[in-house]
Amino acid sequence: MPESVSNITAQMPRAKLAGLLLFFLGPAVAIYTLFSIYPLVATMALSTYTSDPSGGRHFVGLANFETLLGDALWSKPFWNAFSNNLIFFAVHMCVQNPIGIALAGLLSLPGLRLKGLYRTVMFLPTMLSVVIVGFSWNLILSPLWGVAAGALKAVGLGSLFAPWLGLESSALVTLALISVWQFVGIPMMLIYAALLNIPEELIDAARVDGLGHFRIFLHIKLPLVLPTISLVSVLTFVANFNAFDLIYSVKGALAGPNFATDILGTFFYRTFFGNQLQLGNPTMGSAVATVMFFIILVGLCLYLFLVQRRIRRYAF
Amino acid sequence: MTVEQRARSLGVHLVLIAYSVLAVGPILLVVMNSFKVRSAIFGSPLAPPDAATFSLAGYEKVFRSSHILTYYSNSLIVTLVSMALVLLFGAMAAWALTEYRFRGSTALALFLSIGIMVPIRLGSVAILSMMRSAGLNDTLTALILVYVAQGLPMSIFILSEFIQQVPKDLRDAARCDGVPETRIFFEVVAPLLRPAIATVAVFTIVPIWNDLWFPLILTSSDSTHTVTLGVQQFLGQYITDWNSVLAALSMAILPVVVIYVILSRQLIAGLTSGAVK
């Protein structure tokens, strides 16, 4: 900070500075605290209460969490949703990131023509609503319309077609792949930007040493964009463990068939809002939200303490 | 160019074209078929509409049996008002955090950054009961308040970086002339932040326009539904009427695509924080 600024603002009378801070920070801090932080805290507080049929609320400590994790009626759907969520995340990590990296690598090749057009087109699905994307794929994959079946038949793989979204064994992975199709633009763009920021001299030095494009990418560029890749991974983690829209719009709140596509977001919605099978339960819903909060927190901490710190050492 | 280089460049383009087709194909398929008669949708789904198969039946049905125009205007109001407030309050907070030294500024910045990573959705139970007791349940105001709270942390983070790039001499010169701090911000600094709007837009407008969760939780009547929720409910009701379903999907897709194509340069530059020229 240059001295001139700190001098001028430091000379400001205390009352005047306080007034300015109130004016500039007041609205943002008030709205953010009231509608973002307070609800989070209040939801966690509510998770330690239970409501009786008359509407009164009683403090029960951690009993809701004992029910959620210990009572088979609750714990079975919870662990089902949790493990489905892990699979959902794993598909993203194993498919979305490699494709994103590969596309970013191709786009950043020197002298590539039409790169603006490719970039625009490939990022388009990311801009659309998850609801629209989910429903469109639902139609395309539907055996009624027969577009997917026809496309497979055209390349001689007609026998591979199955109503993937309807089968218990394949619905979850299919939905995860739809989500990958939509959001691959984000790793692609972030990694692309990181690749462009690599100093030219480094690449030139490698080229002088006789390395080809592919080996330059693998041995020089890729290690340098590792921080971006891990950032993308943690963004994906948070988004996946908070996902809801896609499953809800394709499969409804019951996340069929037979809860095969139930993830924590849909489980939270059913618990909190209710559905055909059960009444909404705000206190248990709060408990589910609190558990989701801690899952996300664990993911963030792992990223901050393990990945982030280790990667710093290789950063340039 | 040698033969080998040319072959390699051709290979790269083939891969990129293949992926581009995969990316827009499904969208194109939905939009294209929304303009066809029912028999053509099923008979030749891959053919574009021609004189014999062209039909607007689906669109007529959507206009007749849903409040699509209300949904559009709701989405527009919610998105624009939220964005304006996020930009205004975000820029003001970012200015105070970067410009003034005060005790607790680091703690405050950390407090504000919680919202970047922790999804506000997890507080839905309390948000709903707050809105109910404030009488804001089923109003657009409730949505706007939530979206502003959701968008602020990221916009403060982005705008702080932009404000740091504003030349320090500019503000100090104004200060020496005795210009009040509020005028320095609104008349000297704020106009220089215009390029940041595209960046903030990517991170706030798109998620707000596309959100399903909060409209689903906070609004219950047709008059307050947004496009995303309205279309989602329409789709559920008319699931067997393929003309209407495809038309409703296209009507949700087209405005976004048009705006995206117009603004894509700025949007992509914003997303990559200016790295892409």
Contact B16 A24 (CB under 8 A): no
Q: Which amino acid is at A67?
A: T
- Is it the case that residue B273 has pLDDT exceeding 70? no
Q: Is A287 on the interface with B (CB under 8 A)?
A: no
Least CB–CB distance from A122: residue in B19, B231, B273: B19
Which pLDDT score is estimated for A310?
62
Chain A, nearest residue to B88 by Cα? A28
At A311 the pLDDT is 56
pLDDT of residue A9: 65
Spatial distance between the Cα atoms of A133 and A178, rounded to a whole number of angstroms = 8
Every domain of chain A and the residues it spans:
72-312
Q: Return the CA Rg of chain A.
A: 25
Q: Quick check: B96 and A4 CB within 8 A? A: no
Q: Please indicate whether, in this complex, the C-beta atoms of B125 and A5 are within 8 angstroms of each other.
A: no
Which residue in the set B20, B30, B88 is minimally distant from A122, CB to CB? B20
Arithmetic mean of pLDDT over chain A? 87
Summarised one tens digit per residue, pLDDT across range A120-172 is 899 999 988 888 898 889 888 988 887 888 888 888 887 888 888 888 889 99
Per CB-CB distance under 8 Å, the chain B contacts of A46 are: 125-126
Whole-number pLDDT of residue B35: 92
Q: Is residue A309 scored above 60 in pLDDT?
A: yes
Which three-class secondary structure string do you get for chain A?
CCHHHHHHHHCCCHHHHHHHHHHHHHHHHHHHHHHHHHHHHHHHHHCCEEECCCCCEEECCCHHHHHHHHCHHHHHHHHHHHHHHHHHHHHHHHHHHHHHHHHHHHHCCCCCCCHHHHHHHHHHHHHCCHHHHHHHHHHHCCCCCCHHHHHHHHCCCHHHCCCHHHCCCCHHHHHHHHHHHHHCHHHHHHHHHHHHCCCHHHHHHHHHCCCCHHHHHHHHHHHHCHHHHHHHHHHHHHHHCCCCHHHHHHHCCCCCCCCCCCCHHHHHHHHHHECCCCECCHHHHHHHHHHHHHHHHHHHHHHHHHHHHHHHCCCC
User: pLDDT tens digits, residue range A249-260?
Assistant: 898 888 878 899
Exposure of A115 in the CB half-sphere (CA atoms within 13 A): 19
The closest CB to that of A39, out of B88, B130, B185, belongs to B130
A315 falls in which pLDDT band (50, 70, 90)? very low
Task: Work out the pLDDT band at A312, boundaries 50, 70, 90.
Answer: low
Omega before residue B48 within 30° of 0, cis: no
Residue A57: half-sphere exposure toward Cβ, Cα within 13 Å: 12
Query: A189 at the B interface (CB within 8 A)?
Result: yes
A48-64 pLDDT, tens per residue? Answer: 998 877 777 888 889 89
B46 neighbourhood in chain A, CB within 8 Å: 147, 150
The ipTM of this complex is: 0.88
Burial of residue A72, with CB atoms counted within 10 A of its CB: 0-12 exposed, 13-18 middle, 19 or more buried = exposed
Q: Measured between CB atoms, does A275 come within 8 Å of chain B? A: no
Q: Give tens-digit pLDDT for B114-129.
A: 888 889 999 999 999 9
- Domain A72-312 top-level CATH class: mainly alpha
Q: Give the closest-approach CA distance of A286 to chain B in angstroms.
A: 6
CA distance A190 to chain B (A): 6
Residue B115 and residue B153 in contact, taking contact as beta carbons nearer than 8 Å: yes
CATH for B66-237 is 1.10.3720.10
- Mean pLDDT (whole number) for A272-292: 87
In this prediction, residue A8 carries a pLDDT of: 60
* Most confident stretch, A196-210, B134-148, B240-254: B134-148
**CATH 1.10.3720.10 intervals, chain B:** 66-237
CA distance B166 to B186: 13
In this prediction, residue A316 has a pLDDT band, given cuts at 50, 70 and 90, of: very low
Which residues are bridge partners to A49 per DSSP? A59
A217 C-beta neighbours (distance < 10 Å), count: 21
The stretch B47-52 carries a mean pLDDT of 86
Contacts of A147 in chain B (CB under 8 A): 29, 45-46
Q: For B62-87, how does the pLDDT look when each residue is reduced to its tens digit (9 = 90+)?
A: 888 888 889 999 999 999 999 999 99
A7 pLDDT band (50/70/90 cuts)? low
When pLDDT is averaged across residues A213-223 and rounded to a whole number, the result is: 86
Residues 5-44 of A with CB under 8 A from B: 5-6, 8-10, 17, 20-21, 23-25, 27-29, 31-32, 34-40, 42-43
pLDDT in tens, A109-130: 878 888 888 988 999 999 888 8
Chain B residues 74-93 with CB within 8 Å of chain A:
85, 88-90, 92-93
Q: Is A5–B172 a contact, with Cβ atoms under 8 angstroms apart?
A: yes
Cα of A65 to nearest chain B Cα, Å:
16
Distance from CA of A183 to the nearest CA of B (A): 11
